[in-house]
Homo-oligomer: A and B are copies of this chain.
Amino acid sequence: MSDLQNIAKETQIAARQLGILPETARNNALMAIASALEKHQNEIITANKADCDASEGVISSALYARLKLGESKLKSAIAGVQDVARLDDPIAMVSLKRELDEGLILHRVSCPLGVLGVIFEARPDALIQITSLAIKSGNGVILKGGKEALQTCTTLVKIIHETLKNTEVNPNAIQLLTTREEIKGLLTLDKYVDLIIPRGSNEFVRYVQENTKIPVLGHADGICHLFIDSDADLLQAINITVDAKTHYPAACNAIETLLIHKAIATKFLPEIAKALREKGVELRGDEETQKIINCESATEEDWQTEYSDLILAIKIVDNLTNAISHINQYGSKHTDAIVTNNQQNAEIFMSQVDSAGVYHNCSTRFADGFRYGFGAEVGISTQKMPPRGPVGLEGLVTYKYKLIGNGQIAATYTGDNPKDFTHKNLL
């Protein structure tokens, strides 16, 4: 058995103990971690400074900003741990209670998945958040953070382990991998790991999806669309377009393609082009678009590209049906929106666009677990099977059926003169 398998096995054992702890024990552990992180603030910031110094000038300023864990970011991460402790317990929720027959009662009860494998960027605050969500949901977690954050992550996990020793949570439930090579190994541990959550580039997420039998929560691409219908309020359309493209262009819920109904194109296009260019957006249009405004031409490849940048592809469509077809063909089933005052068109759009989020008269940027009020987000799933869309703590739990009887056997309910089930809901 490899070292990695041993770690995974230990995590599984610790997770099974954690998974049956009462809510208060898990919450107490979270509060203890929050206090410990506060107490060891200087140690954490010193470790992070070493990470930052080693990476300065080597990584982009955006990555550097994510790596840096200053006092205020640490403080808000600690507040996050306390927030997670205050969330409703996702475990032991009874979603079905049914009498199958007198004295034979079926319960469907939520329970932890087991062990999570979370691979994340060089972002130490993510480690704190993921650890707290794992403990809250009764799951063990094997963490692997970006290498630039190694010293910070090691320090954080050391503090967490020390703290957990004085709680009911077995410290083995939280494990840190420190080398990139271990990621490949982690993906093969389907006997021990129940869910992989990969964070990072589209390519990395796709690599994970294609190289493991373990279920993967997340998404590779976020190719979101906004369709401006002929009946749109144009001022609203401009506001929403600018927000959806420029508010945070690197986000997965930013739009990449703007579809415009031909009936309003001549009026709308020059206005939206002006507004977007003022925000520094580069426009790429199809042939019809280029007849109305000056811009680079959009090719087949543009419709399939997540720019994650201040670039927007524009296409003029003949009607609602063509807009929907374009989205279903090129989209990534993430989030797509329509701006229209035509209620029927809005309903057709929301029914027929096959995406996790279908929006009417608002920005795609609302696709987010916190904005949905889930209190936490573990990822956004673009798969069609649930959980779909932004996923909160409920994505880290599953359920089991508990059937409690007093000697019932199946033969009683079959064959000649079978007894009927009562199937009476008790909840």
Enumerate chain A interface residues (CB-CB to B < 8 A): 16, 19-20, 98, 100, 104, 106, 111, 113-114, 194-195, 210, 213, 215, 233, 236, 239-240, 242-244, 247-248, 346, 350-352, 354-363, 365-367, 371-373, 383-386, 388-390, 398-411, 413-414, 421, 423
Contacts and interface: CB of A to CB of B under 8 A. Distances in A.
Given A372-B106, A385-B195, A240 B407 contact: yes
Nearest to A104: B362
Given A243-B409, A243-B411, A366-B403, 12 more contacts: A104-B362, A106-B373, A195-B385, A215-B384, A248-B410, A350-B402, A358-B400, A359-B402, A362-B406, A371-B410, A373-B421, A388-B398
A404 B360 contact: yes
B360 A403 contact: yes
Nearest to A108: B389
Nearest to A415: B247
B100 A403 contact: no
A415 to B, nearest CB: 9
Contact of A403 (B104, B362, B405, B408): B362
A362 B272 CA distance: 67
Contacts of A408: 361-363, 366
B400 A100 contact: no
B403 A359 contact: yes
A183 to B, nearest CB: 20
A189 to B, nearest CB: 14
6 contacts: A210-B213, A243-B411, A247-B410, A365-B409, A367-B401, A386-B386
Copies in the complex: 2
A398 to B, nearest CB: 5
Contacts of A388: 398-401
B98 A372 contact: yes
A400 B114 contact: no
A243 B410 contact: yes
Contacts of A414: 247
B399 A386 contact: yes
B384 A113 contact: yes
Residue of A195, A352, A356, A372 with highest tally of chain B CB at under 10 A = A372
B409 A363 contact: yes
Contacts of A243: 409-411
Contacts of A406: 236, 361-362
A381 B412 CA distance: 25
A147 to B, nearest CB: 30
A236 B407 contact: yes
A206 to B, nearest CB: 12
Contacts of A421: 371, 373
Given A385-B215, A398-B388, A357 B403 contact: yes
Nearest to A355: B400
B247 A373 contact: no
Nearest to A95: B386
B20 A405 contact: no
Contacts of A350: 400, 402
Nearest to A404: B360
Given A113-B384, A407-B239, A373 B100 contact: yes
